[in-house]
Copies of this chain bind each other. A is one copy, B any other.
Amino acid sequence: MNKNIYLHIYNDYSARIQSGQLPAGKKLPSESELAEAYGTSRETVRKALLMLSQNGYIHKIKGKGSFVLDTQRMNFPVSGLVSFKEVSKNLGRSVRTIVYENGCVPSTSEEERRLQMKEPGPLWKVVRAREIDGEKIILDKDYFLTSYVPSLTAETAGNSIYAYLEGELHLTISYAKKEISVEEATPEDKLLLDLHDYQHIVVVRNYVHLVDTKLFQYTESRHRLDKFQFVDFARRAQSESDL
């Protein structure tokens, strides 16, 4: 068992910090001590600590040590890909998913542009509303290239599509670009969501790429203004030329 020791260390400490077992400000063992404790080398420990640092769990200070950050106040480090992050900020609420549409459709010109399609073709389209505490707050519109995702069952659409893509189809998602903007609410928004009198809506566009760098999914997540929140944790760049 000498594989992915750094992930093991990372999981150990991220769990202990998230659970509050290690409180904010607490000093971690030194890198040498951790190396010995896990029976590994210092560089491997450093790899785990780098990840903890980049994900907002700890903070390293040269000459002093590594310290637990206040993750409670941080909510949690976002900038992630995982689908429901924006929603599940406050857990312990009743969440329900309503599937409005789930099937294969011909592409529109806008969808071709979003998915960088060279010519019109079929798309798998899923439209779902997320209901929280009895109000339909979020409209999720997902588009998949049929070459990767031939079809989705209604049951899958009602649950986590990501789990299906990775677990069943073995598609490996690699990276994504996310754009957040505010736009005028469309008639569709007003029809499918409980928008009250809001005239605008927060649009989160997600362009999802596979390991072969191919764009395979485009997702539009449309949030009611008052319920939207996005949290981002950012470290200062080390390089000068990074703008």
Residues of A whose CB lies within 8 Å of any CB of B are 7, 10-11, 14-15, 25, 43, 51, 54-56, 59, 61, 67, 69, 73-74, 76, 79-82, 85, 172-182, 198, 200, 202, 211-213, 225-226, 228-243
The interface residues of chain B lying within 8 Å CB-to-CB of A79 are 79, 232, 234
Give this chain's copy count.
2
Contact across chains for B182 and A182 when beta carbons are under 8 A apart? yes
Contact across chains for A15 and B175 when beta carbons are under 8 A apart? no
Q: Which residue of B lies closest to A173 (CB)?
A: B236
Contact across chains for B232 and A177 when beta carbons are under 8 A apart? yes
CA distance A231 to B229 in the complex (A): 15
Chain B: minimal CB distance from A80 (Å): 6
Per DSSP, chain A at the interface is: mixed
Contact across chains for B175 and A226 when beta carbons are under 8 A apart? no
Contact across chains for B239 and A11 when beta carbons are under 8 A apart? yes
The interface residues of chain B lying within 8 Å CB-to-CB of A10 are 239
Known: A55-B242, A81-B234. A225 touches B182 (CB 8 A): yes
Q: Say which residue of B14, B174, B176, B239 sits within 8 Å of A239 (CB atoms).
A: B14
The interface residues of chain B lying within 8 Å CB-to-CB of A182 are 182, 200, 202, 225-226, 228
